[in-house]
Amino acid sequence: MSAPTRTVILLDGASLTRRQVGQIARGEALIGLAPEALARVARAADFLADQVQRGEPIYGVTTGFGSNADKLLGAHRARDELPGGNPEARTGTLLEELQHNLVVTHAVCVGAPLAPEVVRAMLAIRINTLLRGHSGIRASTLQALAELLNRGVVPVIPEKGSVGASGDLASLSHLALVLLGEGEAWYADERLPGGEALRRAGLAPLRLSFKEGLALNNGTTQMLATAVLALERLAMLLDTADLAAAMTLDAFAGRTSAFRAEVHALRPHPGQVQTAANLRRLLDGSTLADIAYHLVPRFRTWLAESWRDPADRSHRFDIVWEYVPPNQRHGKEAFYARFLPFKGGKKHQPQDAYCLRCIPQVHGAVRDALAQAERVIDIELNAVTDNPLIFPDARDARVIEDRVISAGHFHGMPLALAMSYLKAAIPVLASISERRLAKLVDPATNDGLPAFLIGNEDATDSGFMIVQYTAAALVNDLATRAHPASVYSIPTSANAEDHVSMGANEARHVLEMTADLGHVLALEMYTAAQALEYRQDMLNAARTLAQRGDWQALAAKVSNAPSPEHPQHAQFRAEATALMQALAAQEDFHAGRAVRAAFARIREEIPFMQRDRTMDADVRRICALVASGKLVAAR
């Protein structure tokens, strides 16, 4: 069976999107090079060759790099006259040797290899920026780089070594090494010497021409590629966070007035408004949210005599209310005019805790941080980030310095600061998720659900207690990694590069942190699904009991009902009958439509936990579901 045809994305230096980078990174698309862009590339390369022929001094072409910028290249190699020199072993000109040496001496990264997705994204981004035609690289070199990507050769790039100015020199040098037939690369899932990977892919090594080494390794490509993939993942996790919060709010039978449109019109931060609207949509159709206080029973441990009717024997819980006698209602008459005098699971308070009520403000602020990063990344994707910049068509140029301009576009600070913002935002999103999870398992705060969300009839069960421990550990770890790398510059290149961005570290941290953020959100959803099932089942058990019309059966679920001989018994009977009628009149109790869809998807793989069982497989499954995006898609 033939492989499916992949999309071809035409790179032109001006229109690359984050979505396209993601497709290329995942191997879902090949690339093509726009002819008009290749024409610009050729024009700049021809201009550079002409200037070299004229003997013009050009940084990084006829001079050394960095602290060697004041050294002009000579006509011959002085060191060939050194004792032990071997002039016959040398090939190419000094100008070619300069570019070759730039790549081979700068490939000094250490650590685990970058993920293939990051490297493929780097290749696409580097090709795209060079297609702008301001770098001096030849069209044939760009075509070779494109073939590297399209034929599945993935350079091995250790993850650590870039300081983010002059761009990602060290990591991009590892990428360029493979073009020279050196370094290492993955090909057909095998790690090979670079030359062998080229040979198996049907490609040949290159010899670099004027400024090509500098064009290949001078730019913000590693940090940008990593940032693009991190933003894609974080956008999905923000939607997951809203979904997890909605599921938790339904499990709490929480209040939705804090999410109303007119409320957020008074403080219209874009992310906040968007999150509130998203929550309204996710909770649409819920019969749990905004439920009357008196309808919600509290969990009581199951006993053999808890349910007398054989139809109720399948329940894994008992339920209970507490009656509020008339002598305890003084000063609360207005409240009890609206609500019946029964205390169950819901506390008599008009607002939920901050981790529920302030979801739009917290999630929304993270959305705004993401939007700022997306704005920066979208600009950078189609920017020229190497040095010097070549303007072959400049009309008013009098000297070469007007057409070959040394600038600082390789400096990664715009990206680094955007990533610093996200590094601070990620623990915030994880922290509020963990707080919701903690409320769910704590009987003092979970509004009538069982302690640790387990029946624990024999006092042997821990339930979801330790799930919160893991979430707490992850939040702490994320918080300790939130310190911005961008505020700590360490000068390099003998102080010629005296201020650097550390943007590659910043972007790598963000991408790594998204994994643990996903784990925290997964643990919340795992816990919320258990809580939601308890809440729905307890309420529907109360409703079914009420629909039988036997007020005494319902009264048996009231912990302090006055006896028939008590003077208040007649009033109690009337009020218990009113509770019975109110419950009987309710629709089936269920979560919002979107929450129900996600809950059903979870239950396809993870059943309700009636008593303690081995949970590690559950945790792996829920983490995989969140990472896959399937829960968000299920909405």
CATH of the domain at 182: 1.10.275.10
55-91 tens-digit pLDDT: 777 777 777 666 676 677 765 666 666 566 555 445 5
pLDDT of res. 15: 97
Could you give the angle at the alpha carbon of 238 between the alpha carbons of 233 and 242, nearest 5°? 150
pLDDT of residue 184: 98
Q: What angle do CA 418, 149, 392 make, to 5 degrees?
A: 70
Say yes or no: 623 and 540 in one domain.
Answer: yes
- CB-based contact 519:474 (threshold 8 Å): yes
Cβ contacts of 333 within 8 Å, gap of 6 or more: none
> CA-CA-CA-CA torsion for 563, 565, 570, 575, nearest 10 degrees?
-10
Domain boundary among 173, 195, 219: 219
Mean pLDDT across the stretch 18-23? 98
Question: In the listed set 219, 240, 269, which residue is the last one of a domain according to the structure?
Answer: 219
Residues 170 and 293 in one domain: no
Mean pLDDT score, 399-408 = 85
Asked whether residue 348 is domain-assigned, the answer is yes
> How far apart (Å, rounded) are the C-alpha atoms in residues 477 and 509?
12
What integer pLDDT is reported at residue 76 of this predicted model? Answer: 60
Q: How far apart are CA 173 and CA 217, in angstroms?
A: 5
Pairwise CA distance, residues 100 & 150, whole Å: 24
Active-site annotation holder among 59, 187, 293, 421: 59
pLDDT, residue 274, reads 98
Query: Counting beta carbons within 10 angstroms of the beta carbon of residue 50, is it exposed (0 to 12), middle (13 to 18) or buried (19 or more)?
Result: exposed
324 part of a folded domain? no
- Is residue 395 a part of any domain in this protein? no
**Whether residue 138 is found in the same domain as residue 212:** yes
CA distance 195 to 412: 31
pLDDT score at 80: 61
Residue 86 lies in a domain: no
- Whether the pLDDT of residue 595 is over 60: the answer is yes
501-560 residue pLDDT tens:
999 999 999 999 999 999 999 999 999 999 999 999 999 999 999 999 999 999 999 999
pLDDT at 222 over 90: yes
Among 119-128, 164-173, 433-442, which is the least confidently predicted range? 164-173
Q: Which amino acid is at 229?
A: L
| Same domain, residue pair 602 and 500 | yes
Q: Is 117 found in the same domain as 252?
A: no
pLDDT at 61: 78
b/e code 465-498 from CB counts within 10 Å (16+ = b): eebbeebbebbeebeebbebbbeebeebbeeebe
Per-residue pLDDT, 69: 66
What integer pLDDT is reported at residue 88 of this predicted model? 47
Question: Is 415 a domain residue?
Answer: no
Q: Is the pLDDT of residue 28 over 80?
A: yes
Evaluate if residue 157 carries a pLDDT over 90. yes
Amino acid making up residue 128: N
Mean pLDDT of 183-203: 97
Q: Which of 219, 248, 268 is the last residue of a domain?
A: 219
C-alpha 50/C-alpha 44 separation (Å) is 10
Q: Which amino acid is at 271?
A: G
- The pTM of the full predicted model, rounded to 2 decimals, is 0.94
User: Do 194 and 162 form a contact (C-beta atoms < 8 A)?
Assistant: no
Take residue 313 and report the two structure tokens written for it.
């024997």
- Which CATH number is 453's domain given? 1.20.200.10
- In this predicted structure, the answer to whether residue 299 has a pLDDT above a threshold of 70 is yes
Give the number of C-alpha atoms closer than 13 A to the C-alpha of residue 446, restricted to the C-beta side. 27
What mean pLDDT is predicted for residues 588-609?
Answer: 97
More confident residue, 620 or 53: 620
DSSP label at residue 208? -
Name the residue type at position 421.
Y
- 277 and 165 part of one domain: no
Average pLDDT of the chain to the nearest whole number: 93
Compute the average pLDDT of residues 619-630: 97
Residue 494 φ/ψ region, left for φ over 0, alpha for ψ in the -120 to 50 degree band, beta for the rest: left
What is residue 583's DSSP assignment? H
Q: How far is CA 107 from CA 168, 209, 469, 473, in A?
A: 11, 19, 42, 36
CB 153 within 8 A of CB 206: no
pLDDT band at 458 (very low <50, low <70, confident <90, very high): very high
Active site annotation includes 59: yes
Residues 237, 139 share a domain: no
Q: Tens of pLDDT along 111-133?
A: 999 999 999 999 999 999 999 99
| 162, 49: one domain | yes
pLDDT (average), residues 170-190: 97
453 and 533 together in one domain: yes
Residue 81's pLDDT is what?
Answer: 60
How many domains does the chain divide into? Answer: 2
Is 16 domain-assigned?
A: yes
Q: Same domain for 204 and 258?
A: no
Bridge-based pairing state of the strands 404-405 and 389-390:
antiparallel
Residue whose C-alpha is closest to residue 315's, from 540, 584, 528, 587: 540
Please report, in angstroms and rounded to a whole number, the separation of the first and last CA atoms in the chain: 34
Mean pLDDT (whole number) for 264-286: 98
Whether 524 is in a domain gets the answer yes
Share of the chain above pLDDT 90, in %: 80
Token pair of 366, please? Answer: 């993270």
In a domain, 265, yes or no: yes
Torsion-angle region of 452 (φ positive above 0: left; ψ -120 to 50: alpha; else: beta): left
Residues 214 and 245 in one domain: no
Q: Could you give the 3-state DSSP secondary structure of residue 505? A: helix
pLDDT band of residue 97 (cuts 50, 70, 90) is: confident
Q: What is the DSSP letter of 311?
A: G
Selection from 595, 596, 593, 617 nearest residue 606 by Cα: 617
77 vs 168: which has the higher pLDDT: 168
Question: Do 468 and 570 have their domain in common?
Answer: yes
Query: Residue 291 is part of which domain span?
Result: 231-319+343-372+427-552+563-633
Q: Output the pLDDT for position 630.
A: 94
Q: Where are the alpha helices (DSSP H) in 548-615?
A: 551-555, 569-584, 593-605
